[in-house]
Amino acid sequence: MSKLDDPRSGYISLRFPEAELTVDTISQFLGELVRTDPRNALPEGDNVPIWEEPVVGIADAADPLFDTLREPRAVGPYHVKPDFWLPEAKSVISFFLPFSKEIKRSYERSSILPSLEWVSGRLNGEVFVNVARRALVRLLERQGGNAIIPNLDLRYGSQGFIPNWSERHVAFVAGVGTFGLHAGLLTKKGAAGRVGSVVTDIPLPATKRPYTEVYEYCLWHFDRSCHSCIPRCPVNAIDENGKDHVVCTSNGRINIRPEFQEWGYHSCGHCQTHLPCSDRIPPKIARHLARNAGE
């Protein structure tokens, strides 16, 4: 068996009418899920929401950028293309879920440790990301298609920090966002969030990428006017050349409150919070892009 079995439910089909699948209708579908599903809430405290409504993009499975991801300067030859997961693959749906304002507000600027809300949101929020992935599969199946969730497939794997399906890079191909100096994905709703994706054999209208460069939304690469993520990192994992992922993980898994470890909570969000790109595309870049679009 190449795919983990997913539980089937009639609930999702009852709350979203049949519609032509486009980036807009899929955004509406996931937005409804975020607003109404009870699993989008922290188990602690006032049970604040974990995620806000997503940024969604669709890539053509035959987009040549998927070949580019296999180059050493991108992810590398270990990375696979959409037809690895589904031989008849036609489209890839990618979505970015931004953390809620309540979770981002809980992260103290001066603390070297993440907040309870952040580490809880990272673990419990990933459960909801899987809910969203599986809900998309059900939606596509109702339209008569097949769909695979690469990150939940038994063939998914990694070599060190290099996965055979990088959802951040897939999101770039799908028009969801570009990269930052901190190696995170920068979207129109910022960098603080998580990414998911589904591969399907249904041909869907691809999203026109609103950018051309890999680091187009990053102020450091734009004009060197910002390097806030460098001093923000408490373990010096980021410099002008990018991020050292080995060093990065030490603050999320080692420098953490003991009770968080006991609960299975771990994660660091310093390079996603209290930055000009945390909640949006930096205004200077947004204005530049708007001027160029108007020319």
Do 53 and 35 contact (CB within 8 A), yes or no? yes
Q: What are phi and psi of 31, to 5 degrees?
A: -65, -40
Q: Is the pLDDT of residue 151 over 70?
A: yes
Please enumerate in sequence order all residues whose Cβ is within 8 A of that of 168, keeping only pairs 6 or more positions apart, or say none.
179, 184, 185, 195
| Local confidence band at 259 (pLDDT 50, 70, 90 cut-offs) | confident
Q: What confidence tens digit (pLDDT) does each residue in 101-148 have?
A: 999 999 999 988 889 999 999 999 999 999 999 999 999 999 999 999
Beta bridge partners of 59: 92
Q: What percent of the chain has pLDDT over 70?
A: 91
Beta-sheet strands, E only, within 126-248 = 147-148, 158-159, 162-163, 178-179, 185-186, 193-200, 238-239, 242-243
Q: Is residue 182 part of a domain?
A: yes
Residue 20, pLDDT score: 85
Split at pLDDT 50, 70, 90, the class of 18 is: low
> Once rounded to an integer, what is the mean pLDDT over residues 249-260?
70
Strands 238-239 and 162-163: unpaired
pLDDT of residue 2: 46
Query: How many helices (H) and strands (E) would you count in the chain?
Result: 12, 10
- Would you state the pLDDT for residue 111? 87
Top-confidence residue, 16 or 63 = 63
More confident residue, 293 or 230: 230
Residue 245 has pLDDT above 70, yes or no: yes
d(CA 237, CA 248): 5
Task: Classify burial at 78, counting beta carbons within 10 Å of its beta carbon; exposed 0-12, middle 13-18, buried 19 or more.
Answer: middle
| Any domain includes 268 | yes
Residue 43 lies in a domain: yes
For the chain, what is the domain count?
1
Res 258: pLDDT: 75
Largest CA distance in the chain: 56
CA distance 197 to 150: 7
Matching residue, tokens 């969801």: 176
Query: Given a cut of 70, is residue 15 above it in pLDDT?
Result: no
Check: CB of residue 94 under 8 Å from CB of residue 57: yes
Measured over the CA atoms of residue 84, residue 191, residue 114 and residue 270, the dihedral's sign is positive
Residue-number span of the structural domain to which 257 is assigned: 11-294
Query: 3 in a domain, yes or no?
Result: no
- Please state the pTM of the whole predicted model: 0.92
Q: Is residue 81 part of a domain?
A: yes
Q: Is 160 a residue whose pLDDT tops 60? A: yes
What pLDDT, on the 0 to 100 scale, is given for residue 7? 54
Average pLDDT estimate for 211-224:
96
Structure tokens at 234: 């408490």
Domain assignment of residue 4, yes or no: no
pLDDT digits (tens, 9 = 90+) for 36-91: 999 999 999 999 999 999 999 999 999 999 999 999 999 999 999 999 999 999 99
Is residue 2 included in any domain, yes or no? no
Asked whether residue 1 is domain-assigned, the answer is no
